[in-house]
Amino acid sequence: MAFKLYVDSRFRVDNNGSDTDFAIELPHPIQVKGRAYVDCCLIPNTFEVIRQGENDRVFFAETVGTPSVTHYLIATIAHGQHSAYGLAAAMATALNAVTQQAGQYTVTYNPTSAKLDITNSSTTVWSIYPTEHLKAIIPLWNMVQSSASNQIDPNNIMDAGSVTGWAMGTTAVAGGSGITLTGAGSVNVQPYQHLFLRSSLGNGYDAIGPDGSSDIIRRIICQVPLNDTIVDLHGLPTDTVTMGKKEISSLKFRLTDVHGRTVDTRHHHISFSIIFLDEEE
């Protein structure tokens, strides 16, 4: 016979937990054997497009003064749920907050190309560093940057290129007076395409995640707009995890992105069901 467990993060038992990283305790231990699968998942799409300390940085350089001096700068875009037009305004604000030149940056969203156009009225030479290029020259950047605070952690560069359309490119793209720079890619203001529910359930032999992890019990598709509810219905019985025969009194869960980072629903709960099946079923 099948046994059903309904999980809601509001009923978590760990005081230091969150709605996406939590533990539950059952009212009494249950004996399970065979396999289990996650059924209907309800997750609020309240995620931020720009997330502080994760993807909020724009790396650029300006050559100013006589004699000329090159400044290597990091602009931090305000975190939040930006539309494409709001992202353009937030990026301009971030660039202008740290610029060393007299001119001001203008960032415009072009709905025809779905890209951001960047201009500056100054005659100063300035360059935007795409993510691909930046990753290749991290040691050089850390060597020549103008401030210790501009050192880059190669394991977490926090670059906004995948959102702003500046992810691809093997060189820094130079601009100047009367020049418009446009990212190679389109703007992407969908925070996530898919999420992964991870758990202490199972033995790790049933699935391998994109990051090489073995604790994933369900992939969840983000198919609704911001501030709507992701309803991922009816996992397939074949999409199961092997439990063996065991007694369960508590379980841990974590909702992550493709890189294994815990996501933030901003104080909104998630819920899902788990169906336990005997091996012969």
Same domain, yes or no: 128 and 170 = yes
Nearest to 243 by CA among 197, 206, 280: 206
Quickly state the pLDDT bin for 243 (edges 50, 70, 90). Answer: confident
Q: What percent of the chain has pLDDT over 90?
A: 65
Q: What is the pLDDT of residues 112-150, one digit of tens each?
A: 999 999 999 887 889 999 999 999 999 999 998 877 888
Same domain, yes or no: 163 and 65 = yes
Q: What is the largest CA-CA distance in the chain?
A: 81
Same domain, yes or no: 85 and 40 = no
Burial of 6 (0-12, 13-18, 19+ CB in 10 A): exposed
Same domain, yes or no: 250 and 139 = no
Q: What is the pLDDT of residues 156-212, one digit of tens each?
A: 999 999 999 999 998 887 777 778 999 899 999 999 999 999 998 866 778 888 988
Total number of domains in the chain: 2
Same domain, yes or no: 65 and 168 = yes
Torsion of CA 255, 260, 266, 268, to 10 degrees: 0
Domain interval for residue 240: 3-47+191-277
Single residue among 162, 182, 202 that ends a domain in this structure: 182
Same domain, yes or no: 262 and 196 = yes
CATH code for the domain of 13: 2.60.120.1100
**Residue pair 7/43 in contact by the 8 Å Cβ criterion:** no
pLDDT at 281 over 70: no
Q: Is 52 inside any structural domain? A: no
pLDDT at 237 over 70: no
Same domain, yes or no: 74 and 176 = yes
Same domain, yes or no: 74 and 126 = yes
